[in-house]
Amino acid sequence: MTTVVELSSLSDVLSGSPLAPNSTNLDFLADLPSNALSDLLSTPATLTTQSHTLTSSLTALTHTSYPTFLSLHHTSTALLNSLSSFDTSLNSLIDSALPALDDAARVFREKTGPEVIEGRQKARLVLEQHDKLRDLLDVPVLIDTCVRNGLYAEALSLAAHASSALSSLVAQTRKGLSGDQDAAQDLPLQLADSLQAEIASSLHSMQLILLNTLYEPARKLPAFWKAVQFLRRMKAMHEDELALVFISARIGCLRDTLDGIERDAGIPSDAGRVEFKFPTGSTVEEREREIDREADDVARFLKKSIDIWREGAYDLVTQYTTIFLDSSHAGARIAPPAGQDASVSSYTIRQTLPSTLLALLLPTLQSYLDRAYPHLAPLATQLAYCSSALARAGMEFRALLSPLISQSVISGFARDIRLGVEYEWSGLLGKHITSRSKPSAPSNWLVVTPNSLPAFKMLALSSSNAPHSPPQVLTAFPPLAKILNVYIRALNRLRMLAPVDALSGIVDGAEASLANVGSGLLQYARDWRGGDAKEIQILQAAGAAYTRVLVPWLQRAIVEGVFGASLEDRQSAGDGAGDPDAGEDGKHELSFIVREWESWLGSTGI
C-alpha cells in the first residue's frame, strides 16, 4: 500500500509536501501572515485535529475500499507497462519504420510518378476537351444515320468535320502529353483511333451502297451520276477503275436481264434442241406449220431481246459518255496513279466497250436467228433500227449483222428444202422403189397417164418463160410437179427477205437439193434401161423434164425472180461469192447429174 505521510509541523508544510502542491495549500500559506495571533495559535491544533481526522478517514477508507486501491494499483502498473511498450514501439517506429516508409515512398514516387502524372495530364486534357469529345462521339452515329437515309452529302461533310477536329485534337493532346515532339508523334490515342475506325466503317458502308446503286437495273442516269460523284468525293478509287466498275456493273445488269428473258422464253439452245420428227404421211403444209410454231416463239424472244439490248446498250454508252467523258466535269475526277496515262485507260475502255456489248447480242443472234426464218424480215428491220440507234452513240455494227442475216436466210431456206423437197422425194422413192422388192414401173408414178406424155420438143425451157411463172409442162410428171411446188413454197418464203449476199448460198442449197433429186431419178432410170420401150420413153421424158425444164427454171427463178440478178452474168462470173467449199460441191454434183442425163438422152437422139 502507498505510505501515508503525516504533516506534523508547519515546517514540513512549508518545506513542501511529497504530494503535489495544489492551489488550496498555496492560498493557505499566503493567508497566514495576515491572520490574528489567536488564529495563528489555534491553527496548529486545528491542523492536528484535521490531520487526525483525515488519517482516520483514510484508514477507514483503506479498510473499506482496499479492492479499489488494489485495482488502481494494477491499472497503474499496466498503464506504466503500456506506456513503456508504447515508448519502445514509438522509438522503433522513429528509428526504423519511418525511414523504411520514406524509402518506399521515394521508390514509389520514382517508379509510378510519371504514370500518375501522365494519367493526371490525360484526365486534365479530357476535362479541357470534354465538349469537343462529346460532340465527336456523336459523329459516327450521325454519319451512319445520314448514310441509311441517303443523305450522302451530309455524311461526307460530317466525316470531313470529324477528321479535321480529330486531327486538331490529336495534335493538341500529343503536345500536352509530351514535350518531345518526336516522341509525341508516336503516342497512341485509342479514342481517336476508335472514332476514326467507326467513321471509316460508316463511310465504307456508304461506299458499298453507292457501288450497289450501279448494279440496280432500274436506275437511270441521274442516280448513276449522283453515285459516281459521291464516289469521286470519297476518293474510293481512281477514275479509270471507277469507270471499269461502272461499265462492269451495267453490263452485268444487262446480261442478267437478257439471261432472264431467255430463261423465261423456255426455248432450248442449239445443244439441247431436238430435231423435228414428223409423222409418216404428213404434208408440206403441216411440217411448215410445226416449224413456224417454234419460229414464232423464237421471233418473240429475239424481238424482246433486241429491244432490251438496244435500250441497255444505248443507255450504257450515253451514261458512260456523260459521266466519264464529258470535259466539263474533268475537275471532279481523281487523278490516276503515277506512271499511268488517263487518256490511255480511257481509250482502252472505249475500244473494248463496243465489242463487250456486242458479245451479249451476236452469240444470241447466231444461236437463234436461223430458227426464226419466216420472221427474219421484221427482225432484220429491227436490227437495222437498232444499229442506227447505236450509230448515234458512235457504235455502228451494221456490217456485223449482214453475214448473220444472210447465213440465217441460207440456213432457213436449206431447212425448208430439206424438210420439203428431200422429205417429199425420199417419200416418193420409199413408196415406189426402196420399199419394194421390184421398183414400180415409170408409168405407175412418173407420169399422169402414159398416153398424156408430152412431146420431147416441148420439154425445154423457153427464154420467154417468166421466172416467176412455173412451167406447165411439169404437170405431166406428178413427182416433179410436187417437187416444183415445194420449191415454189420455199421461194415464196424466201421472197420476204432475200439479201444480195445470200444469193450464192441459196443457189448452192437449191442445186445440192436438185442434184439429190436427179441422182435418185438417174439411179432409178439406170435400173430400167433394159425394160419395156414405153417405160424407157417415160424415163427419158422425165429426165428431159428434169434437166431441161426443172433445173434451169429453178435457177432462173432464184437468180432473176427472187434476187433480180442476171443468170447469164452470174454464170459468166463463175459465181465466186459465197461459201466456196459447199457451193462448188453442190454445183459439181448437179453438173455431173445433168451431164449424165444429157449423155443418155443424146445417145438416143433426143
Average pLDDT score, the chain: 80
SS3 of residue 341 by DSSP:
coil
Q: How far apart are CA 116 and CA 266, in angstroms?
A: 78
Q: How many residues does the chain have?
A: 606
What local confidence, expressed as pLDDT, does residue 430 receive? 77
Residue with cell 425394160: 531
Grade residue 5 by pLDDT with cuts at 50, 70 and 90: very low
- pLDDT (mean) for 55-67: 85
Encode pLDDT of 129-141 as tens digits.
666 777 778 888 8
- pLDDT (mean) for 593-603: 84
- pLDDT (mean) for 201-214: 91
For residue 418 the three cell numbers come to 430439206
Closest of 4, 11, 10 to residue 43, by C-alpha: 10
Per-position DSSP letters for 550-603, written without gaps between them: IHHHHHHIIIIIIS---HHHHHHHT--SS-HHHHHHHHHHHHHHHHHHHHHHHH
Residue with cell 445488269: 253
Encode pLDDT of 354-384 as tens digits.
889 999 999 999 989 988 888 899 999 999 9
Which region among 9-23, 77-91, 227-241, 291-305 has the lowest average model confidence (pLDDT)?
Answer: 9-23
Q: Over 60: is that where the pLDDT of 3 sits?
A: no
Integer-rounded Cα radius of gyration of the chain: 62
Grade residue 184 by pLDDT with cuts at 50, 70 and 90: very low
Residue with cell 451431164: 595
Q: Over 50: is that where the pLDDT of 92 sits?
A: yes
Q: How far apart are CA 115 and CA 121, in angstroms?
A: 10
Backbone angles phi, psi at 359, to 5 degrees: -65, -15
Q: How far apart are CA 50 and CA 58, in angstroms?
A: 12
pTM over 0.85: no
Q: Over 80: is that where the pLDDT of 45 sits?
A: yes
Q: Over 50: is that where the pLDDT of 198 sits?
A: yes
Q: Which amino acid, residue 374? A: P
CB 244 within 8 A of CB 211: no
What local confidence, expressed as pLDDT, does residue 410 receive? 92
Domain residue ranges in the chain: 10-64, 130-214, 235-396, 408-603
Encode pLDDT of 389-406 as tens digits.
888 888 888 889 999 999
Encode pLDDT of 266-318 as tens digits.
887 664 454 555 555 567 677 778 778 888 989 999 999 999 999 999 999 99
Burial (CB < 10 A; 0-12, 13-18, 19+), residue 455, is exposed
What local confidence, expressed as pLDDT, does residue 328 receive? 52
> Over pLDDT 90: what percentage of the chain?
19
Encode pLDDT of 404-452 as tens digits.
999 999 998 988 888 888 778 887 887 877 777 778 888 888 888 877 7
- pLDDT (mean) for 534-551: 88
Q: How far apart are CA 524 and CA 273, in angstroms?
A: 36
Q: How far apart are CA 606 and CA 604, in angstroms?
A: 6
SS3 of residue 23 by DSSP:
helix
Grade residue 259 by pLDDT with cuts at 50, 70 and 90: very high
Q: How far apart are CA 329 and CA 331, in angstroms?
A: 5
Which region among 525-539, 544-558, 567-581 has the lowest average model confidence (pLDDT)?
Answer: 567-581
Q: Over 60: is that where the pLDDT of 465 sits?
A: yes
Q: Over 80: is that where the pLDDT of 199 sits?
A: yes
* CA diameter of the chain: 213
- pLDDT (mean) for 100-115: 81
What local confidence, expressed as pLDDT, does residue 462 receive? 73
Strand positions, DSSP E, 207-296: none
Q: Over 70: is that where the pLDDT of 555 sits?
A: yes
Q: Over 90: is that where the pLDDT of 252 sits?
A: yes
- pLDDT (mean) for 157-186: 66
What local confidence, expressed as pLDDT, does residue 22 receive? 62
Grade residue 254 by pLDDT with cuts at 50, 70 and 90: very high
Encode pLDDT of 308-353 as tens digits.
999 999 999 999 989 988 755 544 455 544 444 555 567 778 888 8
Q: What is the DSSP letter of 33?
A: G
- pLDDT (mean) for 519-542: 82
Closest of 415, 416, 377, 246 to residue 322, by C-alpha: 246
Q: How far apart are CA 163 and CA 171, in angstroms?
A: 12
CB 219 within 8 A of CB 254: no
What local confidence, expressed as pLDDT, does residue 439 receive? 80
Q: Which amino acid, residue 23? A: S
Q: How far apart are CA 169 and CA 108, in angstroms?
A: 32
Encode pLDDT of 15-31 as tens digits.
455 444 567 777 777 87
Residue with cell 447429174: 593
Q: Which is more confidently placed, 315 or 166?
A: 315
